[in-house]
Amino acid sequence: MQVKIIASGRQFETYGNESLLDAGVRAGLSLGYGCNNGNCGECKANLIQGQVKKWQHHDYHLADNEILLCSYQACSDLVIETTEAHSVDDIPWQRIQTKVAKLDYIAHYLILYLRTPRSKALRFLAGQDVNLIFLGGGLQGQAIASCPCNGKQLQFHLDLNQNLPFKKLRRSEPVVVEGPMGHFVWEDDYRQSVILLAYKTGFARLKSIIEHLIALDYEQSVSLYWLAESKHDFYLNNYCRMWEDALDNFQFAKINSTDAELLNQIETILQQHHHLNMARLYLVIPKPLKTGCLELLSQYQITPEQIYLETI
C-alpha cells in the first residue's frame, strides 16, 4: 500500500506485516516517534483517507481519526498528517543505554555494533554523531556509521591506534549513547550531483549518508572518494565496491594519500568534475587541513552553501 503525508507530499510503501512507523522509517523518512510501543503518543497522526487496523495494543488515548504510527497497519492506500524532522533542531536530545551487539576487527580498526532496547530506537539524521560512554570512559562526537532507517542497530568505526577509553570490549557490555549532534547532515530536498570525500575513518559519516540515500531510492549522481595512507585503511572497501556494482549513478574511487598530499589530491578530484557550481560537497578531512581546504574550494567558485565539512 502507498502512504502519503499531506504536509510534505512524501510517500512510502508499506506491507501488511509491519507498522506504519517501521515502514516510514525504513523508507528514509524522519518521522517523529518515541517509545515505539504505544505509550508516549509522539508518533500520533491524523488519518485523512484510507483504512487501518490495530497492530499492537496501546494505552494512549486517541481522538477520532487519530492513529499511532507504531501501533497501526495499513489496509488500503492512506493519506495521513503527521510530524517529520526537517532539520537538526527537530531531533530531540536522547540518552539511551545500549549493549554491544557485535565486534568486527579489520586490520587496526574496530567496527562496533550497538543495540538499543526494543522500545527505544535512536532518532538521528544521516551524518550526525553522538557521545559514547563506556565503563572506562567516553568518546565525544563519534560519527554514526549506520542508516537512520534502523535506529535500533547502531554502527561506529574506531581506529584502534588511537587512545580509546577501553582495553577490550565484550558482547552485551553496556554503552550509553548521548545525542545526536552536528550539522553535517543530508538534506532530502537536494536533487543535484553530490561529491562525498573522506579521509580514513571519516568514511563512517559518509556511509550513513549513502545508506540513507539508498533508503530514499535516490536519483542524483553520487561520487564517493575514500582517501587513506595504506590498503589497510580502506577497511570496508568491499562495501563500496558492492554499492558501485548495484547502484545507478554511483561511482567510487579509493586513493592512497598522506596528510601532506591530501589537498593536492582533492584538487585533482575537483578538476575531474564539471559544473561544480551545481554540486554539493560533503568532506571529512584532518582538522589541520580545514583552512587550506576551504581556500581551495573557494578558488573553484564553490560557495559555502554547497559545502558540508567535518574534521577528524
- Please tell me the predicted confidence (pLDDT) of residue 170: 96
Q: Which domains does the chain have, with CATH numbers?
A: 2-81 (3.10.20.30), 88-181 (2.40.30.10), 194-311 (3.40.50.80)
- Percentage of the chain exceeding pLDDT 70: 99
Average pLDDT over residues 107-120: 95
Distance CA(227)–CA(232), nearest Å, equals: 12
Distance CA(128)–CA(184), nearest Å, equals: 6
User: What is the pLDDT confidence band of residue 29, given thresholds at 50, 70 and 90?
Assistant: very high
User: What is the pLDDT confidence band of residue 214, given thresholds at 50, 70 and 90?
Assistant: very high
pLDDT digits over 284-303, tens only? 999 999 999 999 999 999 99
Spell out a b/e string for 116-155, using b for 16 or more CB atoms within 10 Å of the CB, else e. Answer: beeebbbbbbbbbbbbbbbeeeebeebbbbbbbbbbbbbb
- Please tell me the predicted confidence (pLDDT) of residue 7: 83
Contact assessment for residue 156 and residue 114, using Cβ atoms and an 8 Å cutoff: yes
- What amino acid occupies position 152? K
Contact assessment for residue 125 and residue 111, using Cβ atoms and an 8 Å cutoff: no
Distance CA(285)–CA(290), nearest Å, equals: 7
The larger pLDDT score, comparing residue 224 to residue 38, is at 224
Residue 195 burial (10 A CB sphere; 0-12, 13-18, 19+): buried
- Percentage of the chain exceeding pLDDT 90: 86
